[in-house]
A and B are shown apart, each in its own frame.
Chain A
Amino acid sequence: MTPSLLDLVKTRTVLFDGALGTELMARGLGPGVPPELWNIERPDAVKEVHAAYFKAGSDVVSTNSFGGTSLKLAAHGLEGRAFELNRAAARLAREAAPAGRYVAGSMGPTGKFLKPQGPATEPELVAAYAEQARGLAEGGVDLFIIETQYDLREALAGLKGAQSVSSLPVFVTLTFSAFPRGHFTIMGDPAARSAAALESAGAAAVGANCNLTSEQMVGCVGAIRAAVSLPVIAQANAGQPVVLADGTIGYSQTLEDYVRFVPEIVSAGAGFVGGCCGTNPATIRAMARAIRGEEKA
């Protein structure tokens, strides 16, 4: 029988996947098209990306549902299809998953600020995340990952929403910037205190993703590790997007430079690692070698 992900992480470092949106773009997803629509319109392309990550060594892939709250889908007039699009996202990842691998239901920010900075209220956010979580659970995810959160209050609302409809584990990642004083979200939530608050609220794992390079992620993981007893998850960016000489878009960290810091991220205390913007199956393949090589040594 497949062990639960939380048991597995007690025995070894667990590998998530890398960026999804850019992989879909490489398969023809055009600007302005919400990626979640492809769960219905181009299911084979979505499955192909998940399969590529599993093949590269991912233990867990995240579903194509990052923008799948009704509040986010509303920008495309798709708010009425949130449940359907999320259920489809979960089913596709499930179908792509070999036996013994895992599917995380991705839930990104709604894009709405809570009062007083914006118009949203906590119950609205809780309801939106609850609806998304219902769709993902129905489609067969093993866990939820509430990710790229920039406001601790929204992350907590998301956690509450997921918990209200399912008993599956909920992972939460926030997106931090590095300052001389430490790591903070754009709302000013400090890494350690945010992680502790999420632990108290019942998250199964907490951590950081996006924005930080793999080098910067090392310090951030250390700060979170010291604040919680939960497993820590880290999914760094391959730096920042840059325009390359030929006019195409690349990221400031090369694959070698990115992967070089992965063992340090693990030593700093991350049990779950994966990639974010600028990473791809090749990155994950190299990460798999880095973390599994280290464990043998």
Chain B
Amino acid sequence: MTKNEIFPKMSEAIVAGDRDAARSLAEDAVRSGLDLLEVIEQGYLPGIQKVGDLWERGEYFLPELISSAEAMKAAMAVLDPELNRKGVGTRMSGKVVIGTIEGDIHDIGKNLVASMLQAGGFEVFDLGADVKLDRFIDKAEEVGAGMICLSALLTTTMMNQRRFITLLRDRGLRDKYKVLVGGAPASRKWAEEIGADGYAENAVAAVKLARSLAGRP
């Protein structure tokens, strides 16, 4: 198959949440010797973009979003090892450390953002829920991440997002990382007020934001 034939099929597989199709198209791409970065950027990611649009319009809901993210993971499970083998590097967009902040056990939204970031081309290190502030930084330092994402569902634990920025500053690392905040009580205004680098309202918006902060289209 030529690129013009296969790329739309890849996008469709993601929109349909069809893991098997997403995987076998990735295998075809490897066998045909296509440029795999192009395959991701022009084949699969437009599918994620479409899913995002459908989500924002209220046509797609969480089950569809999760299926699409799973289909994307299935494709990446084929493409990642190939890219590694060729020394191109796993993820084009960079590494992200994510977790629900200290004192907060709510992780549904965070899990979704983690899945979508992964689907959107990031290598994601998910620390889970109730994550101590220092652990975010230690992990980011350890893996060489460029971005740290902090989730909080409660108005009380949201305050820890502010404390995190202060901690990052105290450790002399503020400029080293992009910090994104999310969760029901967070807002763009809140992100600005505490000096975070960005806020996204939902998982789809989070991918757009992270990609733009990482300098990706």
Q: Which residues of B contact A185 (CB under 8 A)?
A: 61
Closest to A243 in B: B190
A22, A25, A117: the one within 8 Å of B63 (CB): A117
CB-CB < 8 A to B58: which residues of A? 177, 179-181, 184
Residue of A nearest to B156 (CB): A31
* A76, B58: Cα distance in complex, Å: 34
- The answer to whether A249 has its CB under 8 Å from any CB of chain B is yes
What's the Cα separation between A65 and B174 when bound, in Å? 40
B66 touches A117 (CB 8 A): yes
B185 and A249 form a contact (CB under 8 A): yes
Question: How many chain B residues have a CB neighbour from A under 8 Å?
Answer: 31
> Is B32 positioned at the interface, with any CB of A under 8 Å from its CB?
no
Chain B CB within 8 A of A111 CB: yes
Nearest-Cβ distance from residue B127 to partner chain A, whole angstroms: 15
Q: How far is the CB of A99 from chain B (nearest CB, A)?
A: 36
For A249, list chain B residues within 8 Å (CB): 155, 158, 185
Chain A interface: which of B43-51, B85-93, B100-108? B100-108
Q: Are B156 and A25 in contact (CB under 8 A)?
A: yes
Assess the A241–B155 pair: CB atoms within 8 A: yes
**Which B residues are CB-close (under 8 A) to A186?**
61-62
Q: Which residues of A contact B42 (CB under 8 A)?
A: none
Is the C-beta of A8 less than 8 angstroms from some C-beta in chain B? no
How many residues from A make CB contacts under 8 Å with B?
A: 24
Interface mask (A158-193 → B, CB under 8 Å = 1, otherwise 0) = 000000000000000000010111001111100000
| Max chain A C-beta neighbours (<10 A), residue from B62, B104, B158 | B62
B171 to chain A, nearest CB (A): 22
- CB pair B108–A111 under 8 Å, yes or no, is yes
Cα distance A195–B104 in the bound complex, in angstroms: 31
The interface residues of chain B lying within 8 Å CB-to-CB of A30 are 103, 156
A241: nearest chain-B partner, CB-CB:
B185
Q: Which of B107, B160, B185, B190 contacts A31 (CB 8 A)?
A: B160
Q: A188 touching B157 by the CB < 8 A rule?
A: no
Among B63, B104, B129, B187, which residue has its beta carbon within 8 angstroms of that of A188? B63
B105 neighbours in A (Cβ, 8 Å): 32, 75-76, 111
**What's the Cα separation between A20 and B91 when bound, in Å?**
45
| Chain B residues with CB under 8 A of A32 | 102-105, 130, 157
Given A31-B157, A188-B63, A188-B64, the answer on whether A113 and B108 have CB atoms closer than 8 Å is yes
B43 to chain A, nearest CB (A): 25
B62 partner, pick from A31, A75, A188, A241, beta carbons under 8 A: A188
Contacts of B102 in A (CB 8 A): 31-32
State whether the Cβ of A282 lies closer than 8 Å to any Cβ in chain B: no
Q: Does any Cβ of B come within 8 Å of A226's Cβ?
A: no
Contact of A243 among B61, B62, B107, B189 (CB under 8 A): B189
Q: Is A201 an interface residue (CB 8 A)?
A: no
Determine the chain A residues whose CB is within 8 A of the CB of B214 once the complex forms: none
What is the CA–CA distance of A117 and B64 in the complex, to the nearest angstrom? 10
Q: Is A40 an interface residue (CB 8 A)?
A: no
Q: Which residues of A contact B66 (CB under 8 A)?
A: 117
* A243 lies within 8 A of B64 (CB): no
Q: Could you tell me if A243 and B187 are in contact, using CB atoms closer than 8 angstroms? A: yes
Q: Does B154 contact A (CB under 8 A)?
A: yes
Task: For A242, list chain B residues within 8 Å (CB).
Answer: 187, 189
Q: In whole angstroms, how far apart are the Cα atoms of A111 and B130 in the complex? A: 15
Given contacts A76-B105, A242-B187, whether A31 and B61 have CB atoms under 8 Å apart is: no
The closest CB in chain A to the CB of B66 belongs to A117
**Chain A, residue nearest B202 (CB):** A186
CA of A76 to CA of B130 in the docked complex: distance in angstroms? 10
Residues of the A chain whose Cβ atoms lie less than 8 Å from the Cβ of B170 = none
List, in ascending order, chain B residues with CB within 8 A of A117's CB: 62-63, 66
Q: Knowing that A117-B62, A188-B61 are A-B contacts, what are 5 other residue pairs whose CB atoms are under 8 Å apart, sorted by A's residue number? A: A113-B108, A180-B57, A188-B60, A243-B189, A243-B190
Q: Which 4 A-B pairs have the closest CB atoms?
A: A179-B58, A188-B61, A31-B103, A32-B103
Which residues of chain B have a CB within 8 Å of any CB of chain A?
A: 57-64, 66, 102-108, 129-130, 154-160, 184-185, 187, 189-190, 193
